Structure 1
Amino acid sequence: MLKGTPVGDLGWTAPAFTMNDFDGVTHSMSDHLTDRGLLIAFICNHCPYVKAITDRLAADTKTLLNEGIGVLAVMSNDYGAYPADAPDQMKAFSNAHSFSFPYLVDKDQTVARAYKAVCTPDFFGFNGDGHLQYRGRLDDAAMGDPTHRTPDLLNAMRKIAATGRGPKQQTASIGCSIKWL
């Protein structure tokens, strides 16, 4: 089912979490929060909206990481019901798209619930103090032609890194609903 992200509660503090990636390596949110900020992206492997943006997401997040901004991706779908989202498939998906960020398994969906994530993709941009400053889309290309796009998320995270504040104008991300247990 198609969902859109709600208007973000800007200033909201990111709940701390610790989860494993698809290889069982433990990552804490606080270990990836830098003084320049942190992007947390709720994604999955099988969603057509995620598939449409994956290469642009990989490129933009590589830029953010190179600029000292932390990046984590979280997969919260019920992978028992959606085996394409299982950890072994996450690893293959990550490798196929050259992800340079940890891709974490939210097996019991507690992180998605704490963040009130609703869809894939769902992007949360935090400043260096861990306060929400962006909840919007990756770019304006959506499922269309990515050659002429405005990289909303990249621009927002750069603004957050420079000023601690996100853009006043934010366009919601849309995607497939999270598949709850």
Structure 2
Amino acid sequence: MSKQILFIHGSGNQHDPFGSGKLVAFLRQQLGSDYQVLAPDMPDADNPRYLPWRDQIEQELGKLDTDALVIGHSVGGSILLKYLAEGTYQKPIAGLFLVSAPYWERQGWQLEYAVPEDFAAHLPTIRHLFLYHSRDDEEVPFSSLGRYQEQLPQATVRVIDGKEHSFTEGLPLLAQDIKQL
């Protein structure tokens, strides 16, 4: 039986040239038949709103076996983390992988996407947590990684040289980390 991976894509159509779809395809190719990478289209992806994405994430997580692997890319990563911090999802997560996730401020329009100040205390059991971010990411500031790292000191941090955000050519470290679990 293959291990399930839920991939929550970033904003925009994941099938566009710079969407998350190429990273999903890379993972499917690298991981092979031992893994089932599920990458549902999120609602109104060009204009992501927290509540509809939260509801979709909750629905998708409900379909998974226990101890699933979950990947959140960009906005999808930050919304996924905020949902998990609400404390309603109680199943253990074998691996949580956040790729290029923005850290939103708790003010103004960003408040909709921001995690609560004490979010780490409300997360379900996550056996392995990984954070990936390009040093010169042109879409999400590198400082976002540091903000998450401060609050999630147990996370394995992977700093990627370059300015990749969408990882259209793949992210070998992510595939390697998944295989090593």
Which structure carries more helix by proportion?
2
Tell me: higher relative CO, structure 1 or 2? Use CA pairs within 8 A at least 6 residues apart. Answer: 1
Q: TM-score range by the shorter chain?
A: 0.3 to 0.5
TM-score (normalised: structure 1): 0.34
TM-score (normalised: structure 2): 0.34
